[in-house]
Structure 1
Amino acid sequence: MKEGRGVKRIAHFFLVSVIFLIIAYMQPIIFPDDRAPKPLDIGSEVPDEKGQKFMQGKVSSTGLSQYIGQKAEAFVQNFGEPIEIQEVDNTSSWWIFGEDGSDYLQLLIEDKVIQSIFVLGTGIECDYFNIGMTLHEMSSVTTLYSNFSFQQSGKDYVVELTEKDMSTQPLVAFDNESFAILHIDGESEKVTGIRYLNTASLLSLMPYNLQEGELPESKNNESDVSEVSQRHLERQFFSLVNLIREREGKEIFVANGQLFLDSSELLTSFLDEKETYLEKEALEELALQRNIQTYRQPFYLTQKEIEKIAKENKISLDNTYGLAYTPTRDIPYMLMQWYGKLLPHLPLNQIEQGEIGVSFKDDFILLMLRESPSEETATSDEGK
Structure 2
Amino acid sequence: MKRVIGFLSILFLVLIGYYLQPVLFPPTQKKIPVNQTNQTVHHKALKHQTIKAEGFANYILQPIENFEKTFGEPIKVENSGFFFETRNYAFDQGILEVNVEAGKVSVIKVMAKKTEITPFKFGMTSSQFSDQINLSANFALNYDEEPVAIELSENDMRFRPLVAFDNRTFAMVFFNGENEKMIGAVYLDLENLLRLMPYQINSGNPLANRVQESSLDWELLNRQKQSRLIEAINRYRNLYKQPSFTTGEHVTDDSEKLLKSFLTTPKKVLTNDRLEEWQMDQEAHLSNLAFELSPAEFNELAKRDDIDYTEGFFYSPTIDPLFNLFNWISQDHLNKVIDAPASELGVAIDQENVLVLLQESEKTKDSE
Determine the structure 2 residue equivalent to 1:294.
286
The answer on 1:167 being equivalent to 2:137 is: no
* C-alpha distance in 2 between matches for 1:187 and 1:255: 25
Give the 3 Å change call, closer, same or farther, for CA 99–139 of structure 1 in structure 2: closer
* C-alpha distance in 2 between matches for 1:367 and 1:224: 27
Cα displacement (A) at 1:231: 1.4
Determine the structure 2 residue equivalent to 1:190.
181
Q: Is the 8 A contact 1:209 1:296 kept in 2?
A: yes
Q: Secondary structure at the match of 1:240?
A: helix
Cα deviation, 1:105-147, whole Å, max 9, x if unaligned, reads 1001001100010000346542211221112211222111101
Cα displacement (A) at 1:374: 8.2
Determine the structure 2 residue equivalent to 1:336.
326
* C-alpha distance in 1 between matches for 2:256 and 2:241: 30
Determine the structure 1 residue equivalent to 2:138.
147
Q: Is the 8 A contact 1:61 1:127 kept in 2?
A: no
Determine the structure 2 residue equivalent to 1:63.
55
The counterpart of 1:359, out of the listed 338, 348, 360, is 348
Determine the structure 2 residue equivalent to 1:254.
246
Measured on the aligned residues, the alpha-carbon RMSD in Å equals 2.3
Cα displacement (A) at 1:341: 1.4
Determine the structure 1 residue equivalent to 2:255.
263
Determine the structure 1 residue equivalent to 2:267.
275
Cα displacement (A) at 1:346: 4.2
Q: Secondary structure at the match of 2:62?
A: coil
Determine the structure 1 residue equivalent to 2:191.
200
Q: Secondary structure at the match of 1:203?
A: helix
Cα deviation, 1:20-73, whole Å, max 9, x if unaligned, reads xxxxxxxxxxxxxxxxxxxxxxxxx65xxxxxx542111101211110111100
Which one has a bigger Cα radius of gyration?
2
Determine the structure 2 residue equivalent to 1:227.
219
The counterpart of 2:147, out of the listed 150, 153, 156, is 156
Moved more, 134-143 or 189-198: 134-143
User: Percent identical across equivalent pairs?
Assistant: 28
Structure 1: 5+ residue runs without aligned partners?
Answer: 1-44, 47-52
* C-alpha distance in 2 between matches for 1:370 and 1:214: 40
TM-score normalised to structure 2 length: 0.82
- Which residue identity is paired with 1:274? P
Structure 2: 5+ residue runs without aligned partners?
Answer: 1-42
Cα displacement (A) at 1:217: 4.2
TM-score normalised to structure 1 length: 0.78
Cα displacement (A) at 1:88: 1.0
Determine the structure 1 residue equivalent to 2:35.
none
Determine the structure 1 residue equivalent to 2:31.
none
Q: Secondary structure at the match of 1:347?
A: helix
Cα displacement (A) at 1:286: 1.1
Give the 3 Å change call, closer, same or farther, for CA 288–164 of structure 1 in structure 2: farther
Correspondence list, 1:1-384, <5 A: 46=44, 54-89=46-81, 91-98=83-90, 100=92, 102-122=93-113, 124-220=115-211, 226-317=218-309, 320-343=310-333, 346-351=336-341, 353-372=342-361, 381=368
* C-alpha distance in 2 between matches for 1:116 and 1:142: 22
Cα deviation, 1:332-362, whole Å, max 9, x if unaligned, reads 22112211115368432131x1111111125
Q: Secondary structure at the match of 1:82?
A: coil
